[in-house]
Structure 1
Amino acid sequence: MAGHRRVLHVAAWAAAFTGLLITPAQAAPGPEWTSVPTPALQGLAVPNEVAAAGPNAAWTTGVENATTGGGAFVLAWNGREWRRQELPLPGSTYVKDIAAASPRDAWMIGANTTEEAGTRTVALHWNGTAWREVGYPDGISPDIRLPSPSPQLEIVSAAPGGPAWSIGQDEASGESVALRFQRDRWVRQDLPVKMVSALTVAARSSRNVWISCICELPGEGPTQAMLHWDGVRWNTVRFPSLDGTYVLEIVPVSSRSVWAYRAPVMYEPAPALLHWNGEEWRPIPVPVDGRVVNFNNITDDGAGGAWVAANTYDNDANYLHYSRGRWTTERGPGRPGVGAWIYDMVRVPGTRKVWSVGLVAPLSGPALVEYRR
């Protein structure tokens, strides 16, 4: 599938790099990350999405047997171990994104292929017992036209006590759309501007939802901007954009604290962490060598700071932490001098713990599932 090809194509770039350096002000002492075993995964297994609803509820999904076409796997964390979960779909399924609001409320959006029906978009909901399919609107595709080579698509988001949100592409008009799940169906939302391409969606609550987009702004044409839902209306918010860079991930913490990551299409210019203080966005330079492929993987740390994942070829310091105006790095466990590509990371709600998933030694694996306790 196209999703499989994206994972392998991006991973193959690692062969071109020999020293992707991270140069923060100071390295944090001691190992902080723990490798967590998973059930046996087949062939080259690539975990590329992770979502957490609490200390005893998390999910990761990806592709196994990736070099031979493969198919999706889904693992669930119960507080003690990862266990496989089955999807209620025949044929081959590729999960594009996953989000969790509570242990009984999680979402996946992807594509399912069978000989009879071909390939179609599917949305799945976890109700605490099983995954079930819930209809995704006809004519809406989750294959967003991305300006970046990142295989990660933040196309679904959910928060406790609020509806799930998704972004997609209207196949007839070619424009992007925002969807909200209400009354057991996905409903298209009216927006104040036309989205040429929606790039990411992030929900903190029913009154705090952000979308990064290339939008048709009055008198300006296609322009990078953000749309913010405050529970009553959508507001258009400008941010310090830069040619050749795009915001593909947003992490709302509160109404007065939101993190975002502005990364280049390829290797330059240097990426920046962005912070919203309730009134404006401020860019914070990220101390990453310009040759690093940036996948826009960030999360907040639960204490006013943020984590940024850096993808490296022969450097095991994959985690950059920003707190109180300074950067430090931390290293993944048990792989000295071996690089890794972090495909996704998320903080566990109500804690300062963080899950990350990806691939050790980008060309060959094994799968990486790590936890900062």
Structure 2
Amino acid sequence: MTNTNTSSRHRRVRRRPLLASLAAGAIATGSLVVANAWAGPASDTGEAPAAAARAGQWTTTPTPVEKGDLTAVAALDDKQAWAVGYRLKDSTNIKNEAVALRWDGTSWKQESTLPADSFPQALAVKSADDIWTVGASSAHWDGTAWTARAFDRDPGGRLTPDAVAIASDGKAWAVGRAVPQGIKNGVPAVQAWDGSAWRRQALPDVGKGELTSLAVVAPDDIWAAGSSFAGADTEQTALLLHFDGTSWTRMEAPGGKQGEHRWFAGITAVSADEVWAVGGSVTGSSERPFAARWDGRKWTAVSTPDVPDGRLRAAGRSGDNALWAVGGKGSVSVALRWDATQRRFEQAPDPSLVIRGLATVPGTADLWTVGIAKKGDLIPAAARFKG
């Protein structure tokens, strides 16, 4: 499934859960990486209020995890969805259990636990017996059990993936960054599963940066998005790479004005000539949504509402042809919907939770988001939009 789900002196959109940060020293959600400094954002927790269960509104759905974090979600249809995350078992000693939940059309139930220390961050579902999750490592579900799969060795450092997707030919792809010592020294990284092992992919030299999201149009038409990190005298810039079946090429992303930092955190492909990337931008202390569209020839920035702290982290097109982008920071959660007539994103009802991941539900106008509630102490949350 396409990741829609999944980057200081400023901040940077990341999708590291708090539990993974505590247990493995991973980076918490943020937005801007400066090559010589990074500081995580303020965090917020809370309980999402239950919305009315009717069309056009979000409804919170109970999960079987009382304390923890849900980091990614994917759906096959109205009665089959999966979410991965963590159950906090011992907050004093920072012990957690990676879990996979399944939606059966009525409720969320725990289907399984994942291999130890897997710290799942992203999820791709091709079928009920072909599921990949990546994080501190990767694991594959064959319908019966999870099998851990080691990533290929990368000379750039330890691979930290943020997104995974499965192409129509069954090949899985993972993107993120290779980190030699610290996040500020990371470089974009891509690996592909060849049926027996993960293989590192050659990329153009784009300097320090990361890839945060992945979208597959076809086996020979794949997009990866993220950012090139800021330096002492340079702004952070949005990064786009394209795979044509043979090699990866850097594509020109819309640039910002002087002093403006931009990044992508999510990408979704509708067709070969309609791909959307979303993220955020920072000018001074002002942070707002940023989005761009590929029309088959070039990438163009599109209009977004000026939502303070409205960073976007995922996008997807629902079954009623509506394009959505979601995100937020701390107490701010935001959902945008594309207005094709006005040619701009407009604010839409949001799920009122700290959003980690988004999934569209094929064949319907419905959406899923997962994360943690805004109130309370690490309360996992899942919300469904009935379109």
TM-score, normalization: structure 2? 0.72
Match of 2:150 in 1: 135
Deviations 1:171-193 (A, max 9, x none): 56964321111031111122344
Instruction: Please point out which of 184, 196, 204 is paired with 1:184.
Output: 196
TM-score, normalization: structure 1? 0.75
Instruction: Please point out which of 164, 167, 173 is paired with 1:156.
Output: 164
SS of the aligned residue for 1:143 comes to strand
Deviations 1:308-336 (A, max 9, x none): 22437777x7432223135241154xxxx
Match of 2:35 in 1: none
Amino acid at match of 1:3: S
Match of 1:238 in 2: 252
Deviations 1:182-211 (A, max 9, x none): 031111122344453232241323122112
Within a 5 Å distance, the mapping from 1:249-264 to structure 2 comes to: 249-264=266-281
Gapped runs of 5+ residues in structure 1? Answer: 16-28, 112-121, 145-153, 333-338
Deviations 1:203-231 (A, max 9, x none): 32312211225569xxx999643111122
Aligned length: 327
Within a 5 Å distance, the mapping from 1:237-316 to structure 2 comes to: 237-242=251-256, 243-264=260-281, 268-290=286-308, 292=309, 294-311=311-328
Instruction: Please point out which of 98, 106, 123 is paired with 1:98.
Output: 123
Q: Does the 8 Å contact 2:166/2:172 carry over to 1?
A: yes
Give the Cα separation in 1 of the matches to 2:226 and 2:56.
38
Amino acid at match of 1:138: R
Give the Cα separation in 1 of the matches to 2:29 and 2:247.
40
Give the Cα separation in 2 of the matches to 1:351 and 1:30.
12
Amino acid at match of 1:59: W
Give the Cα separation in 2 of the matches to 1:64 and 1:7.
17
Q: Are 2:214 and 1:196 aligned?
A: no
Q: Label 1:95 to 1:104 Cα distance change in 2 as closer, same or farther (>3 A).
A: same
SS of the aligned residue for 1:289 comes to coil
Match of 2:9 in 1: none
Q: Structure 1 vs Structure 2: percent identity of aligned residues?
A: 24
Give the Cα separation in 2 of the matches to 1:14 and 1:38.
20
Match of 1:84 in 2: 110
Q: Does the 8 Å contact 1:196/1:222 carry over to 2?
A: no
Q: Label 1:362 to 1:272 Cα distance change in 2 as closer, same or farther (>3 A).
A: farther
Q: Does the 8 Å contact 2:100/2:114 carry over to 1?
A: no
Within a 5 Å distance, the mapping from 1:5-20 to structure 2 comes to: 6-7=27-28, 12-14=42-44
Give the Cα separation in 2 of the matches to 1:365 and 1:221.
34
Deviations 1:52-104 (A, max 9, x none): 233343221223328542422221223333221333534x4422222222222
Match of 2:83 in 1: 60
- TM-aligned CA deviation for residue 364 of structure 1: 3.5
Within a 5 Å distance, the mapping from 1:359-370 to structure 2 comes to: 359-362=372-375, 364=377, 366-370=379-383
